[in-house]
Structure 1
Amino acid sequence: MSFLKLEALFVSRALGGVPRCRFSRGLRELSTAPRPTPPPPWRVLFFGTGEVALPIARRLCERSDLVSSIRVVAPRPKKGLTPVLEWASEKKIHVEIYEPSSGICSAEQRNPEEVAERYRQCQARLIQLAKEKTDIGVVADFGYLIPSSLLSAFRFPPILMHPSLLPKYRGASPIESAIIHGDAETGVTVLDLDPDHFDAGNILLQKTYAIPPDSCCARVRAELAELGAETVTECLEDYDRLYSQRRIQDPSKFSKAPKMTPADYLVNWESFTSSDVYNRWRALGVLKTRLRGCQSVRPKAGKEHLYVLIHKVEKADSEAIDDLENAVDAEKIAQARPGTLVWDKKRKKLFCRTRTSQAKDHWIGLAQLQFESGSRVIDAESFKNCVKIHLYPGKCVFF
């Protein structure tokens, strides 16, 4: 497996003697050329948008001993202000809007020639800013590749914070992927940037993070963002040593974490165990399934199947599972195929059968649901009253 590698070779410009770095293919090896002594304090150009980037921007702004100035680069928002843009506006921090090389970011950018011209002008402004007013770029939760012409304009090679232990979960959804797969541990990585591939740079520093049991994505994201801010500042404090000791990512440990699609929210009851369903809900917050073989009492009466949103799931404890499997209808329940719904009168809970992988891992509790027709979120008992639930296998199932 081949990667484009970044080689930072510091040379002096003919005028001014300002150290520059250039990017080339091949192994990322340290240059033997004289290196400038890195700050602090740093003049930082910060590239970021969302919730993972915001704590880093805040931490850099607070560390006056480490950062003398900070400017922000962010994509043009599609709706409202992103967390980083909102923060920059409150702090009256200089912002440059990043124009992509292709695609439509706003109604005015429908002409490909206009898009290309905006991109060219944006790159020219950022290159000038990198050369004259900043020392280094710091990137987090940005979403665009940064071209080598801009990366090489900085005095020191920029760094990127990625919320996973690279090369595991390289891509747009590393936090969700770690939770979906039931990982007990993840972490953050600070690396240099590859101008041609996302998250493919050399590693400067990594820190691990134990994922709290039963924690949802919002909590993990917030805590990883704070850990990322701590790790970035540590890298800037000891940049010269960490950069000189950076290491190539191990290709044997590589895995992807692509952006989540609508298909990722759909529950496959034939394939998922109860742990799979629970972890997917922790990661995504809302799941989607189809309900068939039942007579709807209120919403969409007469439809062969309904789409249902699952807003909250609960683990089925061993006592509840024993009660289900020892009930009067135990034989029918034992024959139930994945997706079958069962109402537990004693606990007033709704359980759904999943694929069996091990003992007592084939029932999941559904606590809050919503018909996709736009009705409000309802509890399990209200949902049960909306559909006539049959215990017979195949009569009323999610699929």
Structure 2
Amino acid sequence: MNVLKQIYPKMNTNILRLFNTNIPKLHQELKDRTILTRLCSRQQISTRVKNVCTERKAPWSVLFFGSDDFALQSLRQLYHKYEAGKLLSRLEIVTAYGGKENTVTKYARRHRIPIHNWPPDINLSEFHIGLVVSFGHLIPSRIILSFPLGMLNVHGSLLPRWRGAAPIIYALLNGDSETGISIMKVMPKKFDIGEVVAQQKLNVHPDETMPELRDRMSRLGADLLIDTLKRLPDILDHAEPQSNEGITYAPKVTPKLSLVKWNEMTAKNVYDLQRALCELYPLTTTFLGATLKLLDVQVLKDPLPGQQVSDIVPGLLTFNKELNKLVVYCRGNTKISVSNIGCPGRPPMSARDFYNGFLSKNKRKPYLFSS
């Protein structure tokens, strides 16, 4: 008050008291507001930092990339771990389906897992890691590098064997007795060349079909993926580069692959081709200029009476009344049986009906399937 009195000697005493009473309060209020502003600013910065996954320990925040039945088993396992809350703290998916729902999107919607279309338009650095299972798109560097721990891919072969889109199909049509699962680091520009983080072998049964083997491998892949997540991040530091030897490729399958090449394929080759393609395409051949479908093919090992070895050429077909099936000879004098035939514009017919309609009219003339 004395200071104000000196400055303003004519100021009323009551006004001076009012100033002296309220100025300390105003000063304290301004001070509190400054502190609060600073705290809010720090909180905003802290929130922004938390949105970038810098922790290198579980539970992990995961963005899953997948689109088909093989991927679904891994997503199921991840979702169970997410519900448990110990291994995963966040789970969202990216899929490419062009408006048509696939098994992955259906599962995600049913369990309220957030779905993002490809390419994802989200802050990828909020996730620790990206997991890819049967996705089918080459992922660019900018996406891979957005994840603090990078990206891992579950691949259906023992890399470097069968790099590409259809490893299970090519393992079967080549008669592999062993295959497996590889988990590798995702690399830009090329598919399936990354360092291998984990691998597990699987025996292939001689009569196993593609759907049967795919189901077994999808379960193995899901189990191996969960085991890999449990061993993060240390397992990433022990990844091994793929060998430069034994590299084979499994490109996308087209209908042309279903054509039987009688001069090149043994009976087992034909049977293996059927096992591999049974879910996609029936085996095909050419007969009298028309394309036929060969349904229910089996390998015949026992010798057939009445057929001279000198008469046999690849593609030769006869009808065996005891088996009630067509018999077709392949490379190396091996043979297959065919139970049913698909003709253009007609429903499938039995081997006997095919024989009666096409072969019985001229029994002396040899009939051949061609490639």
TM class, shorter-length: 0.7 to 0.9
Matched positions, count: 317
SS at match of 1:53: helix
Aligned residue for 1:97? 117
Q: Distance in 2 between matches of 1:392 and 1:179?
A: 38
Aligned residue for 2:184? 191
SS at match of 2:74: helix
Tell me which structure has the larger Cα radius of gyration. Answer: 2
Using the TM superposition, give the Cα deviation of residue 147 of structure 1 relative to its aligned residue in structure 2, in angstroms: 1.1
Contact in 2 for aligned 1:340/1:393 (Cα 8 Å): no
Selected match of 2:338 from 322, 342, 366: 366
- Identity among equivalent pairs (%): 27
Counterpart of 2:293 in structure 1: which amino acid? L
Aligned residue for 2:94? 73
Matched, 1:379 2:350: yes
Contact in 1 for aligned 2:161/2:249 (Cα 8 Å): yes
Counterpart of 2:317 in structure 1: which amino acid? L
SS at match of 1:341: strand
Q: Distance in 2 between matches of 1:354 and 1:367?
A: 16
Contact in 2 for aligned 1:176/1:283 (Cα 8 Å): yes
Using the TM superposition, give the Cα deviation of residue 171 of structure 1 relative to its aligned residue in structure 2, in angstroms: 0.2
Q: Deviations over 1:141-199 (max 9, x none)?
A: 11111111111111211110000000100001100100011000000000111111101
Q: Distance in 2 between matches of 1:368 and 1:155?
A: 56
Selected match of 1:261 from 251, 254, 257: 254
Counterpart of 2:301 in structure 1: which amino acid? D
RMSD: 2.0
Using the TM superposition, give the Cα deviation of residue 393 of structure 1 relative to its aligned residue in structure 2, in angstroms: 6.7
SS at match of 1:144: coil
Using the TM superposition, give the Cα deviation of residue 17 of structure 1 relative to its aligned residue in structure 2, in angstroms: 9.1
Q: Distance in 2 between matches of 1:38 and 1:253?
A: 35
Gaps spanning 5+ residues in structure 2: where? 1-47
Q: Distance in 1 between matches of 2:251 and 2:72?
A: 22
Q: Distance in 2 between matches of 1:139 and 1:280?
A: 28
Q: Deviations over 1:25-80 (max 9, x none)?
A: xxxxxxxxxxx6533211110000011100000100011232222101001336x3
Counterpart of 1:339 in structure 2: which amino acid? G
Counterpart of 1:383 in structure 2: which amino acid? F
Q: Distance in 2 between matches of 1:396 and 1:183?
A: 30
Using the TM superposition, give the Cα deviation of residue 209 of structure 1 relative to its aligned residue in structure 2, in angstroms: 0.6
Matched, 1:338 2:331: no
Using the TM superposition, give the Cα deviation of residue 394 of structure 1 relative to its aligned residue in structure 2, in angstroms: 4.6
Using the TM superposition, give the Cα deviation of residue 378 of structure 1 relative to its aligned residue in structure 2, in angstroms: 2.6
Q: Distance in 1 between matches of 2:51 and 2:88?
A: 20
Selected match of 2:286 from 290, 293, 298: 290
Q: Distance in 2 between matches of 1:183 and 1:205?
A: 21
Counterpart of 2:283 in structure 1: which amino acid? L
Contact in 2 for aligned 1:337/1:393 (Cα 8 Å): no
Distance 1:195 1:347, change over 3 A: same
Counterpart of 1:247 in structure 2: which amino acid? E
TM-score normalised to structure 2 length = 0.81
Selected match of 2:60 from 42, 46, 49: 42
Aligned residue for 2:125? 131
Q: Distance in 2 between matches of 1:174 and 1:214?
A: 17
Counterpart of 2:223 in structure 1: which amino acid? E
Gaps spanning 5+ residues in structure 1: where? 1-14, 21-35, 100-121, 293-304
Q: Which of structure 1's runs of 4+ aligned residues deviate more than 6 A?
A: 17-20
Using the TM superposition, give the Cα deviation of residue 219 of structure 1 relative to its aligned residue in structure 2, in angstroms: 0.3
SS at match of 2:56: coil
TM-score normalised to structure 1 length = 0.75
Selected match of 1:205 from 172, 178, 198: 198
Counterpart of 1:272 in structure 2: which amino acid? M
Contact in 1 for aligned 2:194/2:241 (Cα 8 Å): yes
Q: Deviations over 1:270-289 (max 9, x none)?
A: 11110110000000011111
Counterpart of 2:90 in structure 1: which amino acid? S
Q: Distance in 2 between matches of 1:212 and 1:241?
A: 35
Counterpart of 1:38 in structure 2: which amino acid? R
Contact in 2 for aligned 1:341/1:391 (Cα 8 Å): no
Contact in 2 for aligned 1:337/1:394 (Cα 8 Å): no
Higher helix share: 2
Distance 1:387 1:156, change over 3 A: same
Aligned residue for 2:104? 84
Contact in 2 for aligned 1:336/1:393 (Cα 8 Å): no
Using the TM superposition, give the Cα deviation of residue 349 of structure 1 relative to its aligned residue in structure 2, in angstroms: 1.8
Selected match of 2:158 from 165, 168, 172: 165
Aligned residue for 2:29? none
Q: Distance in 2 between matches of 1:220 and 1:228?
A: 12
Q: Distance in 2 between matches of 1:395 and 1:224?
A: 41
SS at match of 2:157: coil
Aligned residue for 1:308? 292
